[in-house]
Amino acid sequence: MISPQTFGLASETAPLTSVMVKSARRAFGSQAALDGSWEALNYLYRPNYDAAVRESDAFAELLAKLGGDVRLAGPDSKVGPDSIYVRDAAVVTPRGAVLCRMGKGARSTEPEALAQALEAEGVPVLGAIRGAGRLEGGDLVWFDDGTVAIAEGYRSNAEGIDQFRALVGDAAREVMPVPLPHWNGPDDVLHLMSFISPLAPDLMLVYSRIMPVPFRRRLLEMGCTLIEVPDDEYDSMGCNVLAVRPGVCIAVEGNPETRRRMEDAGCEVHTYQGQHISAPGCGGPTCLTRPLARG
Percent of the chain with pLDDT over 70: 98
| Alpha-carbon dihedral angle through residues 91, 88, 52, 293, given to the nearest 10 degrees | -10
pLDDT at 4: 39
Domains held by the chain: number: 1
Asked whether the predicted pLDDT for residue 166 surpasses 90, the reply is yes
Give the N- to C-terminal CA distance of the chain in Å, as an integer.
17
Beta-bridge partner residues of 152: 179
62 to 66, 70, 212, 247, 261: CA distances (angstroms): 6, 10, 34, 16, 22
Whether 6 maps to a domain, the answer reads no
Whether 171 maps to a domain, the answer reads yes
Confidence bin at 3 (pLDDT 50/70/90)? very low
Are 240 and 286 in contact, with CB atoms under 8 Å apart?
Answer: yes
Whether 237 maps to a domain, the answer reads yes
pLDDT in tens, 108-117: 999 999 999 9
Q: What is the mean pLDDT of residues 145-162?
A: 96
pLDDT at 9: 81
Q: What is the mean pLDDT of residues 216-222?
A: 97
User: DSSP string spanning 160-212?
Assistant: HHHHHHHHHGGGSSEEEEEEPP-TT-TTS---GGGSEEEEETTEEEE-TTTS-
Whether 11 maps to a domain, the answer reads no
pLDDT at 5: 41
pLDDT in tens, 260-292: 999 999 999 999 999 999 999 999 999 999 999
CATH number for the domain that contains residue 33 = 3.75.10.10
pLDDT in tens, 187-218: 778 999 999 999 999 999 999 999 999 999 99
pLDDT at 2: 46
Whether 3 maps to a domain, the answer reads no
pLDDT in tens, 226-261: 999 999 999 999 999 999 999 999 999 999 999 999
6 to 122, 169, 240: CA distances (angstroms): 10, 20, 26
Q: Is 126 helix (H, G, I), strand (E, B) or coil?
A: strand
Distance of CA 271 to the CA centre of its chain: 16
Q: What is the mean pLDDT of residues 92-105?
A: 94
Whether 226 maps to a domain, the answer reads yes
Beta-bridge partner residues of 70: 19
Whether 48 maps to a domain, the answer reads yes
pLDDT, mean over the chain: 94
Asked whether the predicted pLDDT for residue 60 surpasses 70, the reply is yes
Contacts of 226 (CB under 8 A, 6+ apart): 204, 206, 208, 216, 219, 220
Whether 164 maps to a domain, the answer reads yes
Rounded CA-CA distance 176/159 in Å is 13
Range of the domain at 146: 16-294
pLDDT in tens, 120-139: 998 999 999 999 999 999 99
pLDDT at 152: 97
Q: What is the mean pLDDT of residues 75-79?
A: 93
pLDDT at 7: 63
